[in-house]
Structure 1
Amino acid sequence: MAEVTFELFGETSEGKEVQECTLKAGEYTAKVLTFGGTLRSFMVPAKEGIRDIVLGCDSVEKYEEQSRTNYFGATVGRVANRITQASFELNGKIYTLAANNQGVNCLHGGINGFNRAVWEAREENGALVLTHTSPDGDEGFPGKLDVQVTYQLTEDGTLTIEYDAKSDADTLCNMTNHSYFNLCGHGVGSLEGHKLQILADEVTEIDETGAPNGKIFKVDGTPFDLREPQDLEERLEESHPQLATGGGFDHNFILGIEPQNPLRLAAKAYGGGLCMECHTTQPGVQLYTSNFLTPVDGKEGVRYDRRSSFCLETQGWADAIHHQDFPSIVLKAGKTYHQVTEYKVIKEN
């Protein structure tokens, strides 16, 4: 069971207080902000001592600035990833959303998604519990959605993020966490020395806007074949039309058709003498290699740049509302959305 403490981190531009919530278990420490439900740091034991493997910022002001572009460590919702044409039909009604991606898609819940909300926080049995209510019509989505995100940390290096939501009307719900990882340290600046394994046979193809086009391709014989650990930088330099379209990896790797309980192993990453396992109940994981991360000042004055980190965003398949063959992300009124993801980091033997 982790020790959970709270301290003031700063204020938003609207004057709302933001708390930094610290979970400590053995040699591991995770820091989470109430702004955006953001994982600000994950400090783990490494050969040199303690290493922070998550990119982030040093002030609320900087997080606000980055919250519409890079989403550092944020809880993303109501719907992670892209919704094409920034609209969808549900129960015979058309809902119009913000076109905050490429001028045509809705990305990560819209202009003021969950990543910009200031969440309520409490400690409960050694876990950090964050809650937020998204009102009916928020960012164009129907129904009042009550959301809870629970962070837990254990002494064996397992950081668990559990998501629960319930709506009073049929709506869409597909949440994730948008942490950028670099196992060599948040400030190293490149993916050199990283190997990645994703246990997926297929990937959803994307169009020129980064949204799925409805097609699925097999990873066999492509740079997307990560079923065995592969050097990530080498894979990024390979030639493939989908790598060119995404500017690198920015794709949903298919783990299954339906959510799975208990959790399944989705991915393993290796770097800097560490191994990180990602387990999830979700049917997909979006691998993003920070292709569009423009130079920005991060924690401790470090400069972050493109391809300096990777994201493993566990979620339902992107743009599922527009593709009948994709697993549904419709949340029926009164039903509970529930998903769990674990990131476990240990020293390599």
Structure 2
Amino acid sequence: MIDRRLTFLKKRDYRMITAQAFGKIDQDRIITLYRLKNTHHIEIEILTYGGIVHSIKTPDRNGQIGEITIGYDTLEQYRNHNQYFGALIGRYANRIKDAGFVLDNKEYRISKNHGNHHLHGGTSGFDQKIWNAGIINKNGLECLELRYHSLDGEEGFPGNLDTQVIYSLTDRDELIIDYRAVTDKKTHVNLTSHIYFNLTGDSQKSILDHELTINAAAFTEIDQDCIPTGKMIKVEDTPFDFRQPCAIGKRIGHDHNQLIFGRGYDHNYVLNADGRPDIPAAGVYDPFSGRRMELFATQPGLQFYSGNTLDEKQAGKNKAPIHVRHGFCLEAQHFPDSPNRAG
């Protein structure tokens, strides 16, 4: 299934996939960087460590190429500072309350890494795994395929799980991330990609002037631990209404309790498209650079995170500091804590 399609609406010639070493783990396990290019000078770099989308470079309105993701320079930084920059998330993206669930009348306890709760796959999720990689041909297009075998009981989840993720960069300026997972036992799976975007092309500029649209009439309410309460809130007449384009920063400082709990936007939107990949789930426009992005998804939910807890003490790419709200995420997903929610 096509789970996520990002379209960068800027045209500008070449297409190929190349590979080079990015670093080593334990002296002998080489981490490879794969570079995908299309004929419009869009360039995407992906690591076999964590399936991390390390870089996306696209032209602005003047044809100047710029980096539009937030991340690190080195493998060591990705391993030592876990902000999930660009990473594949699994087995289960987002939060599971009290790090447990009941499945077929059996209780499973999974790893706690977010207070008493489970977040983004646990203490050693898919974002920290070394993925097997290969270049495949899909409908005449060279694509990067990543595979990982997760053992029964990993992080507490039942069943062996074989996961395949295919990254495709088309000449329509689409990055397509196609997820598949097969298990030998009934289990829960919720895969996503945790790319932090900054469409200005300058990580030292805020994302608060980015104009965001989300095709959703409701979002899932959270408590003070960012755990869903089970209630859905209509976006109408709230700071969460992005049905029409609105600057991210316009209402982020409102005293709405949901913004206080999330320290900004960190909420799951209930998509109107309901898994239809032909209807945009979200769109973002940066008036500074003229870059525009659309997101299409087959999932029912979309987590919008406005980079509220980025750590300014950390150095990002080119040793530049990583500032709060200088990156945003749009994560297609099943609803948070859905293993504990009926329906």
Post-superposition CA distance 1:281-323 (Å, at most 9, x none): 1111000011111112111111112111110001111110111
**Runs of 5+ consecutive residues of structure 1 not aligned to the other structure:** 326-349
Could you say what the CA RMSD is over the residues aligned between the two structures, in angstroms? 1.4
What SS does the corresponding residue of 1:129 show, helix, strand or coil? strand
Matched, 1:122 2:134: yes
**Cα distance change, pair 14–164 in 1 and its aligned pair in 2 (3 A):** farther
- Please state how far the C-alpha of 1:13 moved relative to its aligned partner: 5.0
TM-score by length of 1: 0.89
Quick one: distance in 2 between partners of 1:95 and 1:7? 41
Moved more, 183-192 or 40-49: 183-192
**Amino acid aligned to 1:292:** T
Quick one: distance in 2 between partners of 1:130 and 1:227? 35
| Alpha carbons 1:283, 1:317 under 8 Å: kept | yes
Post-superposition CA distance 1:38-96 (Å, at most 9, x none): 001111111251111011111110000123xx100000000000000001111111111
Matched, 1:49 2:67: no
**Cα distance change, pair 320–186 in 1 and its aligned pair in 2 (3 A):** farther
Quick one: distance in 2 between partners of 1:238 and 1:104? 29
Matched, 1:109 2:121: yes
**Cα distance change, pair 133–196 in 1 and its aligned pair in 2 (3 A):** same
Match of 1:221 in 2: 237
Match of 2:299 in 1: 282
What SS does the corresponding residue of 1:115 show, helix, strand or coil? helix
What SS does the corresponding residue of 1:31 show, helix, strand or coil? strand
What SS does the corresponding residue of 1:203 show, helix, strand or coil? strand
Match of 1:4 in 2: 17
**Amino acid aligned to 2:68:** I
Q: How many equivalent pairs are there?
A: 321
**Amino acid aligned to 1:53:** I
Quick one: distance in 1 between partners of 2:208 and 2:180? 36
Q: What aligned pairs does 1:179-190 form with structure 2 within 5 A after superposition?
A: 179-190=195-206
| Alpha carbons 2:273, 2:280 under 8 Å: kept | no
- Please state how far the C-alpha of 1:156 moved relative to its aligned partner: 2.5
Quick one: distance in 2 between partners of 1:139 and 1:176? 17
What SS does the corresponding residue of 1:236 show, helix, strand or coil? coil
Of the three residues 255, 267, 280, the one matched with 1:265 is 280
Match of 1:99 in 2: 112
Of the three residues 55, 79, 84, the one matched with 2:92 is 79
- Please state how far the C-alpha of 1:191 moved relative to its aligned partner: 1.4
| Alpha carbons 2:132, 2:148 under 8 Å: kept | yes
**Runs of 5+ consecutive residues of structure 2 not aligned to the other structure:** 1-13
TM-score by length of 2: 0.91
**Cα distance change, pair 173–198 in 1 and its aligned pair in 2 (3 A):** same
